[in-house]
Amino acid sequence: MEFQIFNLTHIEEAAKLLTAQSAGMQRQFPLLPDRIADVQIAQIFLRALLEKADGHGMVMLEKNDLVGYMLGYYDDSPFFGKHVWVPFGGTVLPPTNLYAALRAIYAAVGDIWIKDGILNHYLVCPALDEWLKAGFSLSFGQEQAYAVASVLERKDEKPLPKGISMRTVQPLDANQLFEKGHWIAAHLNGAPVWEPVPEEHLENIRPAYAELASDDTSTTWVALDGDEIVSYVTIYTVDLGAIHYLGTPQATHFATAATHPQYRARGIGRALFTHIFNVAREQGYTTMFTDWRTTNLEAACYWPTFGFQPFSYRLLRRVNPRYQRFAVSD
């Protein structure tokens, strides 16, 4: 095997490999959008990924033929810190030697990331055993599930508990959503997720929740006890654009759902989500995407009951921050 820095001259061949691999993914996960098997879409995606600020990757060659690649970009965030992100579609591997190929391509491109001081490596990996086995062998750990469900069939709606009502969000709900926007972060802060809650994160999410009250790009429904919001759920069209390989107007993203701790286990959240599931169908969507932490035990058991099937997982490799190149002296 030979490795070269991924550049624009590789896009055409890499896109052919990506669409072939994606066609196989569609056979495994039929709800994935047809667009991922379109070679022009693949070319646009790879070009956008490569030309993104701090895009970095490598191609794998055998006898001068391109047989695989790994391509991601550097980013920074309160949660992930300084990291590299390899999205779904950012890795293609030869199917006949997948396990060894993933290990080899990661060693090659990962060394570039390490030299650049990037110690947190995120890889969105197909939910297929051989892929996951190879990732785990490289000391990646599973962190997030990405799942999709069909919304073509209407679901039977359950009645709300006595005294609880639900309606679409209204502008007057902004203050309440601002105050209650921390519910998910607080839940993920507990066992066994133990997610930190940086103050800058709360400063970002509270205004974003308040904006849902008058946002015409999303759909939010709330459940109330009197005038008090006790649960909320939001959907919106999945992210579109060149960099979003799975983005299609026919799919909605279930972005957030939370219920006040004192109102849980009463069927409120299930009734609210079932309703917005049917709303998505009425809006003309055919599929719904969502994601959850695999260490969020409740979510991992709950969302598959609505038909969500994981098609990929976010894997994370954290290199010891004390790592340094071994100094060799003559």
Q: What CATH number has the domain bearing residue 217?
A: 3.40.630.30
What percent of the chain has pLDDT above 90? 92
Both 51 and 170 in a single domain?
Answer: no
Per-residue pLDDT band at 199 (split at 50, 70, 90): confident
- Is 90 exceeded by the pLDDT of residue 116? yes
Quick one: average pLDDT of 166-179?
97
Q: Is residue 291 part of a domain?
A: no
**Position 293 in a domain:** no
Domain termination residue (choose one: 270, 285, 300): 285
Q: pLDDT tens across 280-313, in order?
A: 999 999 999 999 999 999 999 999 999 999 999 9
- State whether 116 and 186 are in the same domain: no
Asked if 23 and 130 sit in the same domain, the reply is: yes
Q: Is residue 317 part of a domain?
A: no
Question: Are residues 176 and 43 part of one domain?
Answer: no
Q: Based on the domain organization, do 250 and 122 belong to the same domain?
A: no
pLDDT of residue 45: 98
Number of domains in the chain: 2
pLDDT grade for 137, boundaries at 50, 70 and 90: very high
Q: Are residues 140 and 6 located together in one domain of the fold?
A: yes
**Could you say which of 127, 144, 161 is where a domain stops?**
144
Of 188-202, 226-240, 290-304, the one with minimum mean pLDDT is 188-202
> What is the tens place of the pLDDT at every residue in 254-283?
999 999 999 999 999 999 999 999 999 999
Label residue 250 by pLDDT band (50, 70, 90). very high
Return the pLDDT at 77. 86
Decide if 72 is inside a domain. yes
Reported as a pLDDT band with limits 50, 70 and 90, residue 327 is: confident
Same-domain status, 190 and 69: no
Among candidate residues 88, 34, 89, 25, the one with its CA nearest the CA of residue 251: 34
Residue 306 included in any domain: no
Which domain range does residue 21 map to?
2-144
Q: Are residues 176 and 262 in the same domain?
A: yes
Provide the pLDDT for residue 329. 62
201 has pLDDT over 90: no
